[in-house]
Amino acid sequence: MDVLKIATAGSVDDGKSTLIGRILYDTKSLTSDKLEAIETRSKANGFDYLDFSLATDGLVAEREQGITIDVAHIYFSTKTKSYIIADTPGHIEYTRNMVTGASTSQASIILVDARKGVIEQTYRHFFINNLLRVKDVIVAINKMDLVDFSQSTYEAIKSDFEKLIAKSDYKEQNITFIPVSALQGDNVVDASKNTPWYKGKTLLEHLEELDAQDVYEKAEVRFPVQTVIRPKKDEFHDFRGYAGKLYGGDLSVGDEVTVLPSLTTSKVKEIFFFDKKFDTAGRGSSCTITLEDDVNVSRGDMIVKSSEKPRVEKQLTATICWMDNKDLNPGANYFIQSGSNRILAKVKNISGTVATDFSGEDTAKNSLSLNEIGKVEIQLSKPLAIDSYSKNKVSGSFILIDSQTNNTSGVGFIQ
Amino acid sequence: MEVIEQIKEQVVNAKVLKVNPLESEAIYIFREVVAQFEKPVLLFSGGKDSITLVRLAQKAFYPGKIPFPLLHIDTGHNFPETIEFRDRLVKELGVELIVRNVQDSIDQGKVTEEKGKYASRNSLQTTTLLDALEEFKFDAAIGGARRDEEKARAKERIFSVRDDFGQWDEKNQRPELFDHLNGKIDLGQNVRVFPISNWTELDVWSYIQKEEIEIPSIYFAHKRKTFIRDGMIWSAEDEVVHREDDELVEERLVRFRTVGDMSCTAAVLSDAITIDKVVAEIRESTISERGARIDDKRSEAAMEKRKQQGYF
């Protein structure tokens, strides 16, 4: 079955966890034992309603404080699709966890509190979805029950949000507005009688129509080699297979390919998936290929179609979202990891921080602190095959690893 | 014109590898583990999730062999059907199996057997596991945990870094972005890896069905001597389950949905004797899988607490 990955975003108390709990409840995805636990706990906490956030806030500290600290992955399915929802935190200090959730999602739900309208956190969340090139964004204007399901309130927030969209440079993004009450279930799974003025789909109806098959972009073939398979068996004595995951388009037997960064060329001889051979591997598949010629290929190399070569550079410019408590400063050394490639890199220049309200750059600042986003120039110790992020999400992105702490300190989107 | 149409048709009929996103993700993770770590190991309990992991590992490295051993932390309270199955599978695959026994940890005085009618060896496993990881210097332990199992599990990363003591620091996890998995660790640390994090119970069963993977007979309906406690069906066929005299033993048609330690795994009433029937039953079920794990009912944060202490 198709799997659709969705991330949620919203400020604290905008009701993200409640919305997810509501979806689970209304699609009858909560098993009776879990529902019983929620009922018991809600009563014990003195609520006169079911506190659905208990279904997703899995850590003791989260339940103590009533906030979401880290991403929870929630699963449910309908007749047409399987869904994975990354329930991400809204607190500004957990922005990195929000980016974590959104990086693997095809769609995103941004919640706005109808009483508060578009606030700074909304800018930030939209900006990150924009930066990550999340294709489908749903703006759920929540807590409509607390503004008497007022159409004018809804329209005013929508209009504010549209001003934000106008500033975005990612014009292919699909953005949909839906008035909801997560607590009461209006327009979440079932259409609401309280919003007769709203003619659109409910949240779930909308999700059901999104294209889940396009998990991997229709992009150029990128095949980072993870490992070389050389079985020590008689029947496969001379077998030399390159195992990896195919990002971008399809790869077929006979295709002319180039190995990067060495630029040696060959043709695809066989495509294996387990004990079966295929003529073509579809995008997203973890397969093993063999080449016609005995070329030197190892982990970290990238195999591409000869007609669709990426750039091979020793220097790159990227937008970086910083995720470490320790600041990023010019001159610092980090490991840069993109897929199966991990090489040493030096930060040459930080040209400033980017404001998440699309108001531009602050060029006075030449370092990045936790949760800040900025433009950075990086010098690589070896040539790396790269694309711009807008062309390919995998070969166009990377993480920076602190060589002392081994922490994943930041994520970069190549220009 | 007709010729062109025919050629087009041939192209359409060519063998195209279609993607199962969950399977593809798991295989990718397996290959990253082998490339990034010195000495990985697969934690194997003989249950459906670890059996699924074994199949995925086979696929990841075919036509090569699975390039790491299996490690079974044996509580000594396993269902005999599971052990028989384990030994047969290992023989067929030609992989190395390491077994470490909780009984040894008890005999060495490192852990103390629980007492009373709820006594279980489940949490004692942690010590035996950590000792085994240290003994063999394993730096990555691959496990079949799924995020849908339990709400603390839903919070855990695919590469979950643990300290010298095997502890999980749930508030300070590494961000995990795209497919860029960071397995860099210090000496002494290790990583728990969960390739099927994103699978649900139904995904696992559907996969076993589609791939025709053999599983222990205990997963299918069979007659068993049982008794009821706290609304759950306990097996009365083995002395490791502490039964009170007033708890009435009856023969019931049951199967197990999850196969853990016998002392903390409850059975469910079922007449599903084929994999098709099992899948249909799971699809209709209104009770979660962990609903039959007695050790999870101990407190709301039972799993989180165990993981902080190094449980897998």
CA geometry: angle A155, A12, B172, nearest 5 deg: 145
Least confident of A3-17, A110-124, B96-110, B295-309: B295-309
* Residues in chain B within 8 Å Cβ distance of A394: 178-179
Among A126, A72, A294, A107, which residue's Cα sits nearest to residue A215?
Answer: A107
Minimum mean pLDDT among A249-258, B77-86, B256-265: which range? B256-265
d(CA A251, CA A246): 8
Structure tokens at A124: 């930030």
pLDDT (tens digit, 9 = 90+) per residue, B199-221? Answer: 999 999 999 999 999 999 999 99
Q: How far is B300 from chain A (nearest CA, A)?
A: 9
At B35, list the tokens: 């490339």
- The minimum CA-CA distance between B112 and chain A, rounded to whole Å, is 27
Of B65, B175, B180, the CB nearest to A96: B175
User: Average pLDDT of chain B?
Assistant: 86
User: How many Å lie between the alpha carbon of A135 and the closest alpha carbon of chain B?
Assistant: 15
Cβ atoms of B151 and B306 within 8 Å: the answer is: no
DSSP single-letter state for residue B175: P
Contacts of A227 in chain B (CB under 8 A): 31, 34-35
Of A244, A286, A398, the CB nearest to B180: A398
Mark yes or no for CB contact A226/B16 under 8 Å. no
Least confident of A211-215, A234-238, A315-319: A211-215
The whole-angstrom distance between B14's CA and the closest CA on chain A is 6
Residue A278, min C-alpha distance to chain B (Å):
5
Contacts of B154 in chain A (CB under 8 A): 56, 58, 72-74
Is the model's pLDDT at B12 over the cut of 60? no
Enumerate residues 6+ apart whose C-beta is below 8 A from A10: A16, A90, A109, A110, A111, A112, A113, A121, A122, A125, A142
Q: Minimal Cα–Cα distance from B113 to chain A, Å?
A: 27
pLDDT at B9 over 60: no
B17, B58, B178 member nearest A394 (Cβ):
B178
Contact A58 B23 (CB under 8 A): no
The reported pLDDT for the residue numbered B1 is 46
Q: Where are the beta strands (DSSP E) in A15-169?
A: 72-77, 82-87, 107-113, 136-142
Chain B partners within 8 Å of A20 (Cβ): none
| pLDDT value at B227 more than 80 | yes
Chain A residue numbers touching B301 (CB-CB < 8 A): 60
Cis peptide before B67 (omega within 30 of 0): no
Tell me phi and psi for residue B5, to 5 degrees. -60, -40
Identify the weakest region by mean pLDDT among A212-216, A367-371, B98-102. Answer: A212-216
Cβ separation of B35 and A59 shorter than 8 Å?
Answer: no
Structure tokens at A26: 């209304």
Best CA proximity match to A118, nearest among A150, A161, A156, A180: A161
Query: What tokens appear for A272 in the block?
Result: 């294996």
Q: Which two tokens stand for residue B270?
A: 């079922």
Q: Which of A104, A232, A281 sits opposite B178 (nearest CB)?
A: A104
Please name which of B126, B192, B199 lies closest in space to residue B158, comparing C-alpha atoms: B192
Residues of B in contact with A75 (CB under 8 A): 147-148, 198, 200
pLDDT per residue as tens digits for the range A93-144: 677 878 888 898 999 999 999 999 999 888 888 999 999 999 999 999 999 9
ipTM of the complex: 0.92
For residue A235, the distance in angstroms to the closest alpha carbon of chain B comes to 9
> Could you give the 3-state DSSP secondary structure of residue B275?
helix
Which residues 183-202 in chain B show a CB within 8 A of chain A?
A: 184-186, 197-198, 200, 202
Kindly state whether B153 is in contact with chain A, defined as any CB-CB distance less than 8 angstroms: yes
A280: which residues sit within 8 A by CB, 6+ positions away?
A250, A251, A252, A253, A271, B14, B15, B16, B17
Bridge partners (DSSP) listed for residue B161: B191
Is the Cβ pair A77, B62 closer than 8 Å? no
pTM for the model stands at 0.92
Look at A397 and B180 and tell me if their CB atoms are within 8 Å.
yes
Residue B44: the pLDDT is 95
Does pLDDT of A306 surpass 50? yes
List the single residue in A239, A281, A399 with the smallest CB-CB distance to B177: A399
C-beta atoms surrounding A27 within 10 Å: 15
Do B297 and A42 contact (CB within 8 A), yes or no?
Answer: no
Candidates B151, B282, B300, partner chain A, best to mutate (most A CBs within 10 A):
B151
Tell whether omega for the bond before B21 is within 30 degrees of 0, i.e. cis.
no
B307 touches chain A (CB under 8 A): no
Q: Give B198's contacts in chain A (Cβ within 8 Å).
A: 3, 73, 75, 84
Q: Does B220 touch chain A (CB under 8 A)?
A: no
Give pLDDT, residue A357. Answer: 79
Query: How high does pLDDT run on average in chain A?
Result: 90
Q: What is the pLDDT averaged over residues A259-283? A: 95
Q: How far is A242 from chain B (nearest CA, A)?
A: 10
Burial of B287 (0-12, 13-18, 19+ CB in 10 A): middle
Strands A72-77 and A264-273: unpaired
Task: For residue B274, give the nearest of B284, B282, B266 by alpha carbon.
Answer: B282
- Tell me the chain A residues in contact with residue B60 when contact means C-beta distances shorter than 8 Å: 243, 286
Those of residues 56-115 in B touching chain A at CB distance below 8 A are 58-65
Give the integer Cα–Cα distance in Å for A184 and A25.
Answer: 11
Number of cross-chain residue pairs from A and B with Cβ atoms under 8 Å apart? 189
Cβ–Cβ below 8 Å for B177 and A215: no
